[in-house]
Structures are given as structure tokens and as C-alpha cells.
Chains A and B, each alone.
Chain A
Amino acid sequence: MKTAVIVFPGSNCDRDMAVALEKVTGRAPAMVWHRETALPDGIDFIALPGGFSYGDYLRSGAMAARSPILRAVADAAGRGVPVLGVCNGFQVLTEAQLLPGALMRNAGLNFVCRTVPLKVENSQSLFTAAYRAGEIIDIPVAHHDGNYFADAATLDRIEGEGRVAFRYAQPVNGSARDIAGVLNDAGNVLGMMPHPERAIDRAHGGTDGLRLFEAALGVLA
């Protein structure tokens, strides 16, 4: 089980993500700088961490989505390699058009930083198979641009296809239909605003995020 964390200038959750991946796999991930044009050989799982890549210039995630390593990430995603984007990582995945929709400024305009209840909408994906459908889990959020937007036809389509992985159990940021996490059509790319890597140890105040990593990484083990 070889994992990789993509590191952009301005990433700030890359080390937290590395701790989570090492905790579950027993092996430290490769930390891959954004200027690289290829991933290390044999990578089984890719994480795009939270943070403020390129200072959120232009739009959150916009510059990172056009960085050299993203071509390699898109190629790997196309081959079926699981890709998890958290927070800024989710913004990067939408900007790279690996996931539908866009993440806009929070409806309340404030940065939201607290633990929120999430409803598991799809418990069949490789990321969510260790949860029960409808289960409420507590995961921290910390973002300014988490207001998920897509046009009504896209929302209907992704809901109909079971691609809404998580929904906020109460409104957090104005997201369309309270969507907190979205899967790609093949189910191997997940973007979510909440931070599962911040809920993997009792010292974090909760461990509800751990099962996401155990499912996603265990499936491949």
C-alpha cells in the first residue's frame, strides 16, 4: 500500500493527512511537490490536502488545478486510483474538472471552523463502505469557500447516481442541498469540505474520520 500526498505552496493540512495515512497503512506516504510531473511508481492512493494553495489566488484551487502534478493525478484517477481531496483538495478537484460543481464563498461570508454533524448518504463507495447509510458522523470543518454550487440538472444527476457521499446534517455554508462531499462517476474520486484526517484520534475529540481511511485503504490492502 503506497500512498501519496500532493503538496502545493500554501498547503497546510498535508502533514495531518500524512499522519492519517501512516496511521492506517503503517507506512509514511510519499510527499509529492506540485512541480513534479509524475507520481512515484506504484501509488495506490492519492490525497490532496487542505490549505490555501497559491494563496487562493484567482479562485480557491484554481492555480493548483493547473499545476504540473495535476495531470499525473488526473491520469491516475482515470486509471481508477482512489483520489481523496479534502477542503482545498476538494476545491482543486472541482477546478480540475475531476468533480462536478464549484465551491463558492460561504453564504454567511464568515470562515467556518467547528465540528459539524454529517449524514452519510452513500455507504457503498470505497471511501464510505465502513459507514452505515444515514449514519451521522462528527467531522471538523474549517473553510471560507465551502458553498457547493452546481446547476439543478447536475445536482439532480449526481443525487440520482448516488454520488453525494456526505451531506451536512444542518446548514453550514449555504451549500446546494447541503452537499458536503461528492464522488466522481466512477466512484474513485471523492472531494469533501470536512476534514476526516482531523478526526482519527481520541485526542482530536472524535474518531469518526478514521473509518473513511480504513475503508479506502483497507479495500486495497
Chain B
Amino acid sequence: MKVNVYVTLKPGVLDPQGKAIHHALEGLGFGGVADVRAGRFIELDVADDVSDADLDAMCARLLANTVIENYRIERA
């Protein structure tokens, strides 16, 4: 089955890449964008019996750096 993992910067962690993307959007003439924060989307193809606990451990131990990032797991 497919599992979607969304890794995002924690609130309060500065995101220079998001800022640069924001500037670029403004440069393209798109107004009304208040803020941009960039994250990472990871798609896993796993056996149906992989447990939620294992998925959580995958995120906590490798896919996200929990010093700076949050993650959200979604079984597709």
C-alpha cells in the first residue's frame, strides 16, 4: 500500500528557502501571498501489515529530523 509522509518545518524555525520562493512568486507578479514554507513529501510503498508504530519510527529515526521538523503520516 502507499503511505504518504509529509515533512514540514516546525513553527518558529526560519525557512530561508520558503522566503526565497516567496520572493520569486512576488517577482512573477503574484500578489496576496503572505508566507511560504517549503517541506518534503515522501511516498512509501509498504506491505499492508507494516504497523503504524513502524511507520512512526521510520519518520522519527530517519525521514524527519525532529529537532527542526514535524511529520504527518497518511495511509493512502
Asked if A104 contacts B68 (CB within 8 A), the reply is yes
A residues 118-161 with Cβ under 8 Å of B?
A: 147, 149-150
A94 lies within 8 A of chain B by Cβ: yes
Q: Is the CB of A1 closer than 8 A to any CB of chain B? A: no
Question: CB within 8 A of A58: which of B17, B62, B68?
Answer: B62
* Complex alpha-carbon distance, A147 and B15, angstroms: 11
Structural contact, A149 and B13, CB atoms closer than 8 A: yes
CA distance A62 to B60 in the complex (A): 12
Q: How many residues of chain B have a CB within 8 Å of chain A?
A: 11
* Residues of chain A lying within 8 A (CB to CB) of residue B33: none
Residues from 92 to 124 in A contacting B, C-beta threshold 8 Å? 94-95, 100-102, 104-109
Query: CA separation between A43 and B28, bound complex, in Å?
Result: 56
Q: Are A109 and B16 in contact (CB under 8 A)?
A: yes
Q: Which residue of A lies closest to B13 (CB)?
A: A149
Chain A, range 58-111, C-beta contacts under 8 Å to B = 58-59, 62, 66, 94-95, 100-102, 104-109
Known: A94-B67, A102-B67, A104-B68. A62 touches B62 (CB 8 A): yes
Cα–Cα, bound, A107→B63 (Å): 23
Q: Which residues of A contact B46 (CB under 8 A)?
A: none
Question: Shortest beta-carbon distance, B51 to chain A, in Å?
Answer: 20
A218 at the A/B interface (Cβ < 8 Å)? no
A-B contact number at CB 8 A? 35
Q: Name the prevailing secondary structure of the B interface residues.
A: helix
Q: Report how far A100 CA is from B65 CA in the complex, Å.
A: 12
Q: CB < 8 Å: which of B20, B61, B65 contacts A59?
A: B65
CB distance from A207 to the nearest CB of B (A): 34
> Closest chain A residue to B40 by CB distance?
A58
Residues 162-219 of A at the B interface (beta carbon under 8 Å): 174
Which of A58, A94, A95, A174 contacts B14 (CB under 8 A)?
A174
> Which B residues are CB-close (under 8 A) to A108?
16
Chain B, Cβ-Cβ closest to A97? B67
The minimal Cβ–Cβ distance linking B68 to chain A, given in whole angstroms, is: 5
Q: Which of B14, B17, B62, B67 contacts A150 (CB 8 A)?
A: B67
Contacts A/B (CB < 8 Å), 18 sampled = A58-B62, A66-B61, A66-B62, A95-B65, A100-B67, A102-B65, A102-B67, A102-B68, A104-B13, A104-B16, A105-B17, A106-B16, A107-B16, A109-B16, A109-B17, A109-B20, A174-B14, A174-B16
Interface residues of B (CB under 8 A from A): 13-14, 16-17, 20, 61-63, 65, 67-68
